[in-house]
Structure 1
Amino acid sequence: MSWTGVKKAINRAGTQVLVKAGQVEATVDTEFEFEEKRYRTMQSHSRKLHSELKYYLDTLRRLESAQLSVAKALSSYYGQQQGEKPKSLAQEYFAALEKTHDEVAKALETPYHQTVLNPVARFNSYYIEIDEAIKKREHKRLDYDALRSKVQKLIDRPDEEEKLKDTEQQLGGAREVYEKLNGELKHELPRFTNLRIPFFDPSFEAFARLQMRYFRENYESLAQLETKLDAQTRQDYMDGTLDSRLDSCLAKMRELQA
Structure 2
Amino acid sequence: MSWIPFKIGQPKKQIVSKTVERDFEREYDKLQKLEDQTKKLHKDMKKSTEADLAMSKAAVKISADLLSNPLCDQDQTFLESMTALDTAMKRMDSFNQEKVNQIQKTVIDPLKKYSGVFPSLNMAVKRREQALQDYKRLQSKVEKYEEKERTGPTMVKLHQAREELRPVREDFEVKNKQLLDEMPKFYHSRIDYFQPSFEALIRAQVMYFTEMYKIFSELTDQIDQAGLTDEQRERETEAKLSELRALSIVADD
The normalised TM-score by structure 2 is 0.81
Query: Does residue 136 in structure 1 map to residue 127 in structure 2?
Result: yes
Residues 44-74 of structure 1 deviation map (CA, whole Å, 9 limit, x = unaligned): 1112212222222212111111111111111
**Which amino acid in the other structure matches residue 46 of structure 1?**
T
Q: Which residue pairs with 2:229 in the alignment?
A: 236
CA distance in 2, matches of 1:89, 1:256: 28
Alpha-carbon spacing, 1:215–1:230, altered in 2? closer, same or farther (3 Å)? closer
1:24 aligns with 2:10: yes
Deviations 1:141-165 (A, max 9, x none): 1111111222222333335332122
Name 1:40's counterpart in structure 2: 32
Structure 2: state its 5+ residue gaps.
Answer: none
Whether the 8 Å contact between 2:85 and 2:219 is mirrored in structure 1 is yes
Distance in structure 2 (CA, Å) of the matches to 1:221 and 1:254? 37
CA offset digits 1:94-114 (Å, max 9, x no partner): 122223323x13433443233
- Please tell me the root mean square deviation across aligned C-alpha atoms, in Å: 2.5
Q: CA deviation at 1:187?
A: 0.9
For 1:150 and 1:125, locate their aligned partners in 2 and report how far apart those are by CA, in whole Å: 39
Please report how far the alpha carbon of residue 248 of structure 1 lies from its aligned counterpart in structure 2 after TM superposition.
2.1
Kindly state the Cα deviation for residue 199 of structure 1 after the two structures are TM-superposed: 1.4
Partner of residue 137, structure 2: 146
Q: Distance in 2 between matches of 1:36 and 1:248?
A: 67
Determine helix, strand or coil for the equivalent of 1:24. coil
Q: Distance in 1 between matches of 2:180 and 2:70?
A: 69
C-alpha distance in 1 between matches for 2:56 and 2:70: 21
Letter in 1 for 2:212: N
- CA-CA distance at 1:230 after TM superposition: 4.4
Q: CA deviation at 1:30?
A: 1.1
**For residues 43 and 58 of structure 1, what CA distance do their matches in structure 2 show?**
23
| Deviation string, structure 1 residues 21-61 (Cα, Å, up to 9, x no partner) | xx335955111111101111111111221222222221211
Tell me what 1:247 maps to: 238
Counterpart for residue 12 of structure 1 = none
Distance 1:18 1:227, change over 3 A: closer
Moved more, 93-102 or 130-139: 93-102
Counterpart in the other structure of 1:164: 158
> In the aligned structure 2, how far is the partner of 1:196 from the partner of 1:16?
29
